[in-house]
Structure 1
Amino acid sequence: MQPKNIVEEIISQFEGVIPKASWGETSLFYNPGKILPNGVYFCTIKEKNGDNDKASELDREGAFRLSIGISKITYEKKFGVKPKRPSKGCIIDTGHDFTALDELMPHPIYGWMSWVQVLSPSESTFANIFPLIAEAHSNAVIKFNKKTANK
């Protein structure tokens, strides 16, 4: 799959999703009516390394990262106890090869916040992790509704 296909699929399957692209990353926000400046993000696609984010070697030809913010419960069911927050410029310590393609694993920097990643997912892997995207979207809806309850 290509990044644009993933963005198109998520936008077509879920209501209120607004994509925002900047610095080689597309963030997907839940923000119906654009009530909030950005909304609540739940999924990102990153296509290049950042100054403090080189663990996945995204500068390789065709490599990109699909990141998904899942619940703590789901994260712990899949990977065990969440890791500690890494020091600035460092990555979490889980023993995963953060350069492996087409494999669900903790996000190398934000795993401590229950974020997961898949590098360059195939169509079958994307189909398998789609329930995680649905969960992340549902959680974003709840957070959005809390943030906008008094607006």
Structure 2
Amino acid sequence: MTITDIIDYIRGLGGVLVLSPTEGSGHPELSLGDHFFYYAPDGEVPTRTQPFATIVTKDYPGDDRSHLDRPGAFRVNIAAGKQAFLDHARPDTDPSVPDTVHAHPVYGAASWLAVVDPAERTEATVRALLRTAHERARARVERHAG
């Protein structure tokens, strides 16, 4: 899976706002090149919620165990919920191993999952987890709106 494959897939889920900071956009320089996915059918970045998924292309301060400093490396992060986390997380594995579902090295305690360089082995799982995260985000927005 490429970053473009993942972005296209998530966009196809409907009601998704993709925030992709660029130079001059006012976002922190560290976030440039990364992607943040929100359920936001109105096209506005929600003010009181986190993205339901992200793609990061570099190590962040305090989040370097995935070793994203390698050329072309990236990690998809997914807030698929506690049950999905329990079903898929491999908390005692090296979070830099590609194409493997792991507990997020920083946000695992919040039930976030992570996959470095998803490929053939994890593609179907990543897609299913992204659908679940999207459905959870949609339900949360609808619950708060009504």
Tell me which interval the TM-score lies in, with the shorter structure as reference length: 0.7 to 0.9
Question: How many Å apart are 1:124 and its aligned residue?
Answer: 4.8
Secondary structure, aligned partner of 1:59: coil
Structure 1 gaps of 5+ residues are 81-93
Deviation at 1:131, TM superposition (A): 1.2
Aligned with 1:99 (options 93, 96, 100):
96
1:95–1:40 distance in 2 versus 1, CA, 3 Å: closer
TM score, norm. by length of structure 2: 0.83
Instruction: Give identity over the alignment, percent.
Output: 30
Given the alignment of the two structures, is residue 72 of structure 1 paired with residue 82 of structure 2, yes or no?
Answer: yes
- Aligned residue number for residue 91 of structure 1: none
Structure 2 regions of 5+ residues with no counterpart? 22-30
Distance change in 2, residues 1:123/1:10 (3 Å): farther
Aligned length in residues: 135
TM-score by length of 1: 0.80
- In structure 1, the partner of 2:25 is none
Letter in 2 for 1:110: Y
TM-fit CA distance, 1:8: 1.2
- 1:19-63 alpha-carbon deviations (Å, 9 max, x no partner): 002313201110001355456521110001112211111110111
Tell me the C-alpha RMSD between the 2 structures.
Answer: 1.9
Q: Following the alignment from structure 1 to structure 2, what is the Cα–Cα distance between the partners of residues 36 and 2? A: 24
Corresponding residue number in structure 1 for 2:69: 59
- What are the superposed Cα offsets for residues 109-144 of structure 1, whole Å, 9 maximum, x if unpaired? 011111001101114522232111111000000111
Q: AA paired with 2:54?
A: T
Native 8 Å contact 1:48 1:59 kept in 2: yes
Aligned counterparts of 2:69 and 2:50: Cα–Cα separation in 1:
27
In the alignment, the residues of structure 2 paired with residue 41 and residue 109 of structure 1 have an alpha-carbon distance, to the nearest angstrom, of: 15
Quick one: structure 1 residues 31 and 97, their matched pair in 2 at CA, closer, same or farther if it must change by over 3 Å?
A: same
Is the CA contact 1:103–1:118 (under 8 Å) kept in the aligned structure 2? yes
Q: Compare 122-131 and 15-24 and name the one that shifted more.
A: 122-131
Q: Which has the higher mean CA deviation after the structures are superposed, 95-104 or 115-124?
A: 115-124
* 2:122 maps to which of 122, 125, 143: 125
Q: 1:111 maps to which residue? A: 108
The residue identity in structure 1 corresponding to 2:14 is: E
Tell whether the 8 Å contact from 2:100 to 2:116 is kept in structure 1 after alignment. Answer: yes
Alpha carbons of 1:30 and 1:64: their partners in 2 closer, same or farther (altered >3 Å)? same
